[in-house]
Amino acid sequence: MIGSLDTLVQHMDAVTEHFMRKTAENWGDYPRGVTPREEVWNAGNVSLLKFESPENAQGTPLLIIPSLINRWYILDVTEETSFIREFAARRPTFLIDWGYPGTEVGHLPLSHYYHKTIMRAIRQIRKMTGCEKVDMLGYCIGGTMAYVFSCLEPDLVDHLVLLTAPLSFKEAGILANYANTFPVEEFSASMEKMPGWMLAFSFQFIQPMGAYQKTRMFHQKCDNEGFKKLFNAMERWIADPVDFPARAYYELLTDLYQDDLLSQGRLETAEGRLVDPACRRARTLILNAAKDHIAPLTTTGLPVNDQGPVSQVTIPSGHIGITTGKNCKDACKKAIEFIMN
Amino acid sequence: MFNMGDDLMKQWTENWEKLMGEHLEKLVHNEKFINEMSKSIAATMTGKAMYSKLIDEQMAAMNLPSRTEMVKVLQKLTDIEERLIDLSERFEDYVEAQSRKPGAPEKKSRLKSRQKQNLEKSKAFVLNK
């Protein structure tokens, strides 16, 4: 039944896409990610992207770890809001594109993504640039993964920016309430992946008036070309959902949300390596959002036994607003200042 | 008169939005509601698992590969690809370590570029002749 629903939703997506293309006018062909880039390595669904930088952009390379539950170009959605454009102007900038995982990777554990894949990407970056360490920026669950990696491989990470990254899941707000009651065993027995449309629906569900408010805002501001451009780019990003591999999703819900193993220092990789927060040595900036309902402020604090160097900046915006809203430039500036010092 | 109608409409919309917002917000945070929703998702998923099993059995009866089997094959292929990547990385590390040892033979790429240089030199020599 869920399989048929999946197909139905795909058809509906196609109809919506067609309708949007007709109404979006010139913005319909707007690129997904605006900074020029090339794929420098790939393995399966995953690829490593290198963004075009001026020749004087030297120094420790920056590796961006986007979230696994949506597409990476939220950090590069328009020229005016792009984080990646700003970083690439100053440093050699790389990004892990998780691609569109299908059923073929449904059996891979979460540690395959937060340890093995990041390790492979860093290996390629080290080969290309000759640098021993990288700076890292992780967004949302990508930030959680970057943090876990910095605990597992402390010698490889110099600076670490955690952009609205949940680390402690004990008081994770409404998402935790749903995660705690989610039927994980039934999910594990019946699904090879968590469909992207279901994830997108759940995010809309926890903000029930969101769609109405968005439509009303569009009605009020649709004459403004700048707003129309950003709105269209954002809608395209929202309408581009990504499936979550089943076992990784199961572990995300059980190990992180339900059992909160990371903040207790009890999280283990599939190979049995303990993720010890006390091992982190990377200089870390926690960049969180005051109105975040996905990773509330209570979730973005470091685990108690992590005594590594850390600073924190709170931006008055929401989870997505921090990357594309009116305060996104402040957030980007803070991240750049931290990385460049 | 017209303006008054607009204002009333605006006020009514704002009130409706506020009331609906509060009501729906309460609903999606309500524990009982969350539990019921979870139960209905669980029931749907159990149904899906049973349906998939039935389809698999029918495919097996017709001596045809089922979706589950196809997924298993795909996942095996992913495992093989993963293993290959691991092995090639280990091999690269080994070659790198060997080439760093004193008296190690030249790297293939370096050897190739030297061969190319020699070839160009000999071509130039032939042309000069």
With CA atoms as reference, the chain A residue closest to B70 would be A104
To test the contact with chain B by mutation, choose from A118, A186, A207 the residue with the greatest count of B C-beta atoms within 10 A, namely A186
Any domain includes A4: no
Q: How far is A126 from A171, CA to CA, in rounded Å?
A: 38
**Percentage, residues of chain A above pLDDT 90:** 73
Q: Categorize the per-residue pLDDT at B124 as very low, low, confident or very high, splitting at 50, 70 and 90.
A: low
Same domain, B57 and B1: yes
Q: Which of A34, A105, A42 is nearest to A72 (CA)?
A: A34
What per-residue confidence (pLDDT) applies to B111? 55
Same domain, B82 and B128: yes
Q: Categorize the per-residue pLDDT at B123 as very low, low, confident or very high, splitting at 50, 70 and 90.
A: low
Any domain includes A292: yes
**A168-192 pLDDT, tens per residue?**
998 888 888 899 999 999 999 999 8
What per-residue confidence (pLDDT) applies to A10? 78
Same domain, B59 and B80: no
Of B64, B93, B108, the residue that ends a domain is B64
Q: Which of A11, A325, A311 is nearest to A162 (CA)?
A: A311
Q: Is A103 on the interface with B (CB under 8 A)?
A: yes
Beta-carbon separation of B45 and A178 below 8 A: no
To test the contact with chain A by mutation, choose from B75, B80, B83 the residue with the greatest count of A C-beta atoms within 10 A, namely B75
Beta-carbon separation of B49 and A189 below 8 A: yes
Q: ipTM score here?
A: 0.84
Asked whether the predicted pLDDT for residue B107 surpasses 80, the reply is no
Phi then psi for residue B36, to 5 deg, are -65, -40
With CA atoms as reference, the chain A residue closest to B42 would be A183
Of B22, B46, B64, the residue that ends a domain is B64
What CATH number corresponds to the domain at position A141? Answer: 3.40.50.1820
| Helix/strand/coil (H/E/C) assignment for every residue in A85-153 | HHHHCCCCEEEEECCCCCHHHCCCCHHHHHHHHHHHHHHHHHHHHCCCCEEEEEECHHHHHHHHHHHHC
To test the contact with chain A by mutation, choose from B53, B68, B74 the residue with the greatest count of A C-beta atoms within 10 A, namely B74
Nearest to A183 among B17, B41, B52 (CB): B41
Q: Categorize the per-residue pLDDT at B112 as very low, low, confident or very high, splitting at 50, 70 and 90.
A: low
What integer is the mean pLDDT of B93-115? Answer: 73
Any domain includes A51: yes
**In total, how many domains does chain A have?**
1
Q: Which of A40, A68, A55, A47 is nearest to A126 (CA)?
A: A40
Asked whether the predicted pLDDT for residue B126 surpasses 50, the reply is no
Any domain includes A13: no
Same domain, B2 and B25: yes
Nearest to A205 among B28, B44, B49 (CB): B28
Domain ranges, residue B88: 65-129
What per-residue confidence (pLDDT) applies to A24? 63
**In total, how many domains does chain B have?**
2
Beta-carbon separation of B48 and A44 below 8 A: no
Tell me the chain A residues in contact with residue B74 when contact means C-beta distances shorter than 8 Å.
102-104
Q: Is A191 on the interface with B (CB under 8 A)?
A: yes
Same domain, B97 and B129: yes
Measured between alpha carbons, how far apart are the two ends of chain A, in Å?
Answer: 54
Same domain, B118 and B74: yes
Residues of chain B that touch chain A, judged by Cβ-Cβ distance less than 8 Å = 17, 20-21, 24-25, 27-29, 31, 34-35, 37-39, 41-42, 44-49, 51-52, 71, 74-75, 77-78, 81-82, 85, 89
Scan for tokens 């891979």, then name that residue: A108
Of B38, B64, B90, the residue that ends a domain is B64
Radius of gyration of the CA atoms of chain A, in A = 19
> Can you name the residues that pair with A46 across neighbouring β-strands?
A43
Sign of CA dihedral A9, A11, A16, A17: positive
Q: Which of A256, A327, A268, A263 is nearest to A292 (CA)?
A: A327
Measured between alpha carbons, how far apart are the two ends of chain B, in Å?
Answer: 104
What per-residue confidence (pLDDT) applies to B129? 40
Q: How far is A157 from A115, CA to CA, in rounded Å?
A: 13
Any domain includes A44: yes
Beta-carbon separation of B78 and A108 below 8 A: yes
How many CB pairs below 8 Å do chains A and B form together? 82
Phi then psi for residue A284, to 5 deg, are -120, 140
Whether the model pTM is above 0.90: no
Domain ranges, residue A333: 31-195+241-340
| Pair A251, A68: CB distance under 8 Å | no
With CA atoms as reference, the chain B residue closest to A173 would be B29
Same domain, B3 and B27: yes
**B20-73 pLDDT, tens per residue?**
989 998 998 899 999 999 999 999 999 999 999 999 999 999 999 999 999 999
To test the contact with chain B by mutation, choose from A46, A103, A199 the residue with the greatest count of B C-beta atoms within 10 A, namely A103
- Low-confidence stretches of chain A (pLDDT < 50) are none
